[in-house]
Every structure is written in structure tokens, then in C-alpha cells.
Chains A and B, each alone.
Chain A
Amino acid sequence: MADEALELSELKGEFRKKVNELLPEGNLNLCFTCGTCASGCPATGLENMDPRKFVRMIALGLDDEVTSTPWVWMCSMCQRCIYACPMNVDIPRMVYLARQAWPREERPKGILGSCDMALRNDSCSAMGASPEDFQFVVEDVAEEVRENHPGFETLQAPIDKEGAYFFLNQNSREPVTEPDEMIPLWKILHLAGADWTYGSKGWGGENYCMFLADSDAWEHIVRTSIKQAEDLGCKVYLNTE
């Protein structure tokens, strides 16, 4: 923050207008400046910022500062601040808007790359794994289980099973980097007698496009996955995380 007094008349406040559209949770006049948010936030102090300061800076119209501070990527949007806030001021959504204010190509490379990977094919996997790769790994691991794990000779890990009750998603790091971690989950589903399936489309359980604050891509992923579950006639969309 500046050392000299701020000249409010020179500030733009365009970002504040955007925040005000989030009414009622974006009504900055509701903020008591009590600091409950900042005192319970693990990101307080990073980049010389904290949630209360962030809100005050928006209220003052310090657009350049709030839309350029890397702090918005150091806040995990965990919502502990709004959970604790006596006035329900939605700071995480302001952080989302501030992330969105960054030109897409200047947002953190890792998050950007993970979102773009998910847009490459219908898997919606942040690792870019194709439906064919996924099917290969799942079938290979399931076969290994049936052959080598006594009591699981009939274990199934279906993909696109019509009419299955549960539509299961899976963080794609598991099939791609540690496929054996899928086995305990499958064993549980098998022993519980659950009628379940993965989808060839939208099986990826993660959504980095939301973290990238790319709303169109976030929506695309949700729609792809939900549509697949509906097309298969599933009843429950089951999140593993």
C-alpha cells in the first residue's frame, strides 16, 4: 500500500462495481472491518496481504493493486473467511473475480496447463489422458486384480455401463501416475455390492478450470460429465473427492 494518503477521486473503482454485482454477498458496505476473516486465514501475511486488506482495497477502488497481486493465487478459496464472517461477505468470489481479471495467458502456467489439458478431449482430465488411455489402464489393472487377488475373481471396473446406479469420477492422477491406488476403491465398491460405472466422457474428477477462473471451461467440464452420467441413465453422481 502507498505511504502517502490516497487520493480517492483519482481511483477507478471499476472492480468494485463488478464486486457489487455479487449482491448481497458483494455489498462491501456490510463489512465491519472486524478482521475475523484475516485472523483465521492461513494466507494472511503472504505478499503483505490478507482478506480484510483485500476487501478494503476493493472498497477504496485500488483496482490496479487488487487485480495484479499474486496473492489471489495464494488464497486457496477455501471459504473459511466467509464461513466465519458475521456479515457473509463473499471474499472467495472476489478472489475469483480478481483471478479472472488476469489475462488468461498470464495466469499461473501450471493451472493454465491443467485446464487446457482437460479441454483436449472428452475425459476432462487435467493430465490430458484420453478416453482410450483410461480404458486401457482400467481394464489392465482390473484384470490383474481378478487374476491375483483371491476373493475378487469377479471384480468389475466398468466404463459406460448403461443403467448403473452410480456414476463415479476419479482424480486422473490415479490412473495416470499411481494406478494401484484405484484398486482399494474398486474392492470397496465390489464388497458393498454397488452397481457403478465410470464414463468414457467426463471421468476426470478434478476441475482446474474453476481454479483458473475460466468460467466457460469450468461449465464445459461440468456439462460434459453430468451429461454422460445422464445419458447412461445413472441415478447418483458420486464424487471420490
Chain B
Amino acid sequence: MTFAVLEGLKKFGIKTDLEIASIYQYYAKWIREGKLKVNSDWNKDLKIKFTVQDPCQIVRKSYGDPVAEDLRYVVRSVVGDENFIDMTPNRSNNYCCGGGGGYLQSGYVEARHQYGKVKFDQIVATGADYCVAACHNCHAQIHDLAEHFEGKYHTVHLWTLICLAMGVLGENERTYLGPDLAEVGL
């Protein structure tokens, strides 16, 4: 996990010449360079709305707002500019979903739901049909919040949408898509 590596290198005095990067930075780079030929036409008529979770570990705790911009650039490119709605607050100032810090494994389920209510309300306020969660913990928590508080939104990984926008998303890679997208591009 990005922060555990970056902070670990610093805290334990580990020296390396490796560039420590987030894949969001490279998704954005590859789209800008035309290597990933994404297209949002699939959503031109559907007009399905998306919001995005800024994972604390990658945004606030590691690379700050520039990586949040990369993340938005990718999401906008794949779902269409007009179909993206930001949460408030966002980027480095975003609220944690409540899945991090070991919360999902801590056994404090009631507290985790209460904590996550802030995030749930934030997502619902956007009116989006989908929340993009490109971090495994965020994904698990935001998905669970929808079930617990009976929200209507779906929670989806970013790689699912990138592949959808390139027309290469397979049949078995659609677990987290709703009925509205289950068949798109197949």
C-alpha cells in the first residue's frame, strides 16, 4: 500500500533508487499519451453519473492534489466529463471512508458504520449512480455502506471502467456493475 511503503522507507531509513508510484499516475499518463484508447461514447446516451472516492492513503497521505487530478482526469475520460460529479469536500480534504487503518478487520463494526455515515451521506448527496473506489479497502467499505444504509449507488473499481471504455471488459469482470451496465460493450 502506497503510504505504508513511502512512510516505511522514511521511518526505517530504507534507501532505494526505485520510483514509488501510484498506478493512477500511470493510467493518466497512458491515456494522455494515447496508449490507452479510452472513449466515453458508451455513456453519451445512457448518461449514468459517477462520483469518485479520493483514497486517503494515496491522495492526502502520499501524493496530494496532483494525484487527485490524475484520478479525475481518468474518470472523466472514461465516463464523460458531463457525467462526473465531485463529492464535497474532495481531493486532499476528502473524508476517509472508514475502511482504512485496519477498520474493516478491527471488529468494531458498529463504529465503522457510524464513521462511514459521513461518507455515505456525501456520496448520496451527489446523486451519482456509481462511486468509483480505486482502493480495495475503500471499495469494500463503500460497498458495505450502501448495503447497510440501503443506498442505491453501486461501487466500482477504476480498472473496470477503463476496460469498459476500451470495449474490452469481459463477461466475468462485471461483478460490481449494476443491471444498467451489465451488457454494455459485450
Contact = CB atoms under 8 A, between A and B. Distances in A.
A178 B172 CA distance: 10
A236 B19 contact: yes
B5 A222 contact: yes
Contacts of A152: 168
A83 B60 contact: yes
B54 to A, nearest CB: 11
Interface stretch (A11-19, A53-61, A203-211): A203-211
Interface in B89-109: 92-96, 98-108
Contacts of B106: 73-74, 108, 110-111
A151 B169 CA distance: 12
B101 A222 contact: no
Contact residue range for chain A?
A: 35 or more
Contacts of A230: 16-18
Contacts of A76: 56, 96, 98-101, 103, 115
Interface of B: 1-2, 4-5, 7-9, 11-12, 14, 16-23, 26-27, 30, 35-37, 55-58, 60-61, 92-96, 98-108, 111-112, 114-119, 134-137, 157, 159-160, 162-163, 166, 168-170, 172-173, 175
Given A191-B36, A222-B8, 20 more contacts: A70-B108, A74-B108, A80-B96, A84-B93, A110-B105, A110-B107, A111-B102, A111-B105, A181-B175, A184-B157, A188-B27, A191-B35, A206-B4, A221-B4, A222-B14, A223-B12, A230-B17, A239-B20, A239-B22, A239-B23
Interface of A: 42-43, 45-47, 70, 73-80, 83-84, 108-111, 113-114, 145, 148-149, 151-152, 167-168, 171, 173-174, 178, 180-181, 183-185, 187-188, 191-194, 205-208, 210-212, 215, 218-219, 221-223, 225-226, 229-230, 234-241
